[in-house]
Amino acid sequence: MPTLRHAYPYSSARDQLEAHGQGQIALHEQLEREIDVCKRRLSTSEDSLFQRIQQNARTFVSTQSLIQKRQIVPEEIDLRKEIARVAENYPQFNTSHEPVHEPQLLPILEGEGLQKPIPIPDFTLLSACASHIDPETGQEHYRFYIKDGLYPALRDFLIAHELGHWWLHLQRGKLQPATESFYLHSAHEWGRLEDQADIFALITIFPTPYVSWCELEGGGTLDPSIILQEFCKSLHSPRLQLQERMLTYINKRIAIYNRYKKFLTLDLQRLRLPDGPIPPDALAGVLALLNFNKYCWAQLDKNYVVTNCSDSWAQLYELDAATIKKRKLNVVTDLTPTELQIRVRQQLNWKKENLRSTLYFPHYQHPESRQPFPVMINAYATIGSDGKYSGSIGIVTPYPATVGALESPNLEAEKQIKASGDSLEMETDYEPERSWITDSDARKNLAAYLQQRSELARKYPREYVAFVDEKLAGHDSNRKSLIDRVYRELGTLNMLIERPDLEREVIDFSRPECTETD
Amino acid sequence: MLAGSYVSQISKQNIAPPVPSLKITIGANTSIGNSCSLTVPVIFDTGASKSVVPYTALRAICQTLKLDGLPYRSAIAHDFNGGQHDVLIYELCVVGPASLTDSGIVEFIALERSFGLLGRDILNRYFVELNGPSLSWRIEHRRRSWLRCLLASIARPFRRMK
């Protein structure tokens, strides 16, 4: 009998019940229904069933109190390092420009000596990872179990989630149960581990280069519904409830990506490079600054030909800077793999049209060996004296950037990155720009709203929306009645009321607004 | 009419040179029917387009009303250095001193600071006299009569012609 190590049902069940406004009553009803099912299935009496429930409850309470007393603390997991380790072992991990599905996950499972997930009909959990001891060899084996008949996109997520548990918590015995019944009865209480597995899964199925591409395609904004649509494009539409849950997760992925982007640009922020184009008189100064700080950079002309670069950039191609300049290499046709050339050209065109700085994750290739390698580029448009686009400067970091960031010459940024949490891609409270909102709940609530703002503006034009606990709590054309309703339904909570279709107000603390008068 | 003097210390914080300051009483009316008011020190700030209330005052109001928080909206604030910051805005009403009560419901930015700012959103409703040499100030609420308003509207096109 395999020992159940982990299961993924709790938050899902809770959210579903909450969504129906059922709360505890529904849970109670569900429990009664479950007892009836068990009675029928096990052909056992109600008394013995209740005895078993009581026994389980006692174990649950005792393990919970152990957690509270912090007698059992899992080994601190450095998610950043773990993700870098996966990328090291599997070069295809988090470098794809497309969403990742089960077929791309299977080679990783195989590489880890794990079997294809086993479908279980009428499984009460969505997925589980169980270990069992081989009676012949005495060795422990892990297996993933997935409820049969699930929507394929959900299945993709669950496999990636279990893979997250494998890499982060189970592989090499990182998490050892203190008691035999520990995992069986208290796994759901390990919310932090679930979050880590979720983050891992989201990064796995929506790789960073893909999300950055979506951002550029969306004109600088990320629309969760478009990502969902693309993720499910060859499938029938998911049910509304599942669709909403998937959108919540995609929003989470977008939030992780945005934070990651902030971290990545942390080092560059001190250079105070403009978000807009670099004028010709500032160009020499910017290049001197980049050289002084030993950045790896290249300058392109308006036809995307490399006109200048740092020695470190030339070394990426095992060449020197003088040779690169002489050879007039085109970054699209000579240095980008054929399959990505259209995208890279579009990315460069976007910068040309908007004259704004962009962050993207293409692949470069060696001009001779054609060996591709992923990079991360912070690109800044340059303009000539006529004010028109004259080319760009790209600051390049080998990717996965988790490794690159640690190799960055700015120790201060490194310290900030390290101090910011377990992972570069993990949600943390750190914000590079000083926040004027000191209430962390309000800050999170606002961040959640801003993520969904464009979508809400489309959905509820000329309406106010209320955000409570980082979730949409209601919408109404009348602000007061919306506040009253949310107060009535949810109590006196931290409530953000906004009109998403209106531009955000800009308040000036420095000078009175100047307007032309007649 | 409301009058006061410039001060060199607000909330145990020394300020030099002295600033025109007063104490206003702000109140919150909630949808659940309770109300509460609190007095906070503020300084005149014509550079602020919106008035500011200390976070501590808001927390005190919420504590009295036994609320987790008051409803808020967000905005982007620009500081002196051109930096951008998200800020939260709360709807409160000025309930004292009496001369300022006709401001009605005012949107206040909540910031973590020991005193508030009386911005142009409130100041521009009044005749404000700052008498620097004597370190005193005066706020007057003069309503223009309908005749003055009429004369002003007639005179405006002529003024433009000049």
- Domain positions in chain A are 3-216, 271-409, 440-498
Query: Quick one: CA dihedral A443, A445, A451, A457, positive or negative?
Result: negative
CB nearest B55 (choices: A438, A487, A493)? A438
pLDDT tens-place string over residues A154-179:
999 999 998 888 888 777 665 555 44
Say if CB A517 and CB A502 are below 8 A apart. Answer: no
Q: Is A344 helix (H, G, I), strand (E, B) or coil?
A: helix
Q: Are B47 and A509 inside 8 Å of each other by CB?
A: yes
User: Does residue A225 have a pLDDT over 80?
Assistant: yes
Q: What is the pLDDT of residue B143?
A: 61
Residue for token digits 């927390």?
A: B59
pLDDT band at residue A50 using 50, 70 and 90 as cut-offs: confident
pLDDT tens-place string over residues B106-150:
889 998 878 889 988 888 888 899 999 999 999 887 666 667 767
Q: Are B46 and A494 inside 8 Å of each other by CB?
A: no
Q: Show which of residues 433-472 on chain A sit within 8 Å of chain B, judged by CB atoms.
A: 433-439, 441-443, 446, 449, 466
pLDDT band at residue A45 using 50, 70 and 90 as cut-offs: confident
> Two tokens at A99?
């969403």
The architecture that CATH gives domain B2-161 is: Beta Barrel (2.40)
Question: Which of A115, A467, A447, A32 lies closest to A262 in space, CA to CA?
Answer: A447
> What does the alpha-carbon distance between residue B26 and residue B10 come to, in Å, rounded to a whole number?
17
Q: Are B69 and A495 inside 8 Å of each other by CB?
A: yes
More confident residue, B9 or B108: B108
Contacts of A442 in chain B (CB under 8 A): 69, 72, 88
Measured between alpha carbons, how far is residue A177 from residues A57, A131, A144, A183, A185 in Å? 18, 12, 18, 7, 11
What residue type is A119 in one-letter code? P
Gap from B109 CA to chain A (nearest CA, Å): 10
Contacts of B78 in chain A (CB under 8 A): 506-510
Burial profile B32-53: b = 16 or more Cβ within 10 angstroms, e = fewer: eeeebbbebbbbbbeebbbbbb
> What does the alpha-carbon distance between residue A144 and residue A165 come to, in Å, rounded to a whole number?
10
**CATH 3.40.50.2300 at A271-409, yes or no:** no
Helix (H) or strand (E) holding A194: helix A191-205
Pairing of β A127-133 and β A3-7: antiparallel
User: Does residue A215 have a pLDDT over 90?
Assistant: no
Q: What is the pTM of this model?
A: 0.52
Q: Are A496 and B111 inside 8 Å of each other by CB?
A: no
Q: Maximum CA pair distance of chain B? A: 60
> What does the alpha-carbon distance between residue A364 and residue A78 come to, in Å, rounded to a whole number?
29
Size of interface A-B (CB pairs under 8 A): 104
User: Does residue B89 have a pLDDT over 90?
Assistant: yes
Count of alpha carbons within 13 angstroms of residue B121, beta-carbon side:
18
User: Does residue A216 have a pLDDT over 60?
Assistant: yes
- Candidates B30, B88, B109: best to mutate against A (most CBs of A within 10 A) is B88
Q: Is B84 helix (H, G, I), strand (E, B) or coil?
A: strand
Q: What is the pLDDT of residue A206?
A: 92
Q: What is the pLDDT of residue A342?
A: 86
Q: What is the pLDDT of residue A75?
A: 55
Q: Is B162 on the interface with A (CB under 8 A)?
A: no
Q: Are A512 and B30 inside 8 Å of each other by CB?
A: no
Measured between alpha carbons, how far is residue B108 from residues A319, B58, B61 in Å? 60, 10, 14
Q: Are A512 and B71 inside 8 Å of each other by CB?
A: no
Beta-carbon contacts of A459 under 8 Å, excluding residues fewer than 6 positions away, are: none
Gap from A469 CA to chain B (nearest CA, Å): 12
Residue spans per domain, chain B: 2-161
Question: A446: how many CB neighbours lie within 10 A of its CB?
Answer: 23
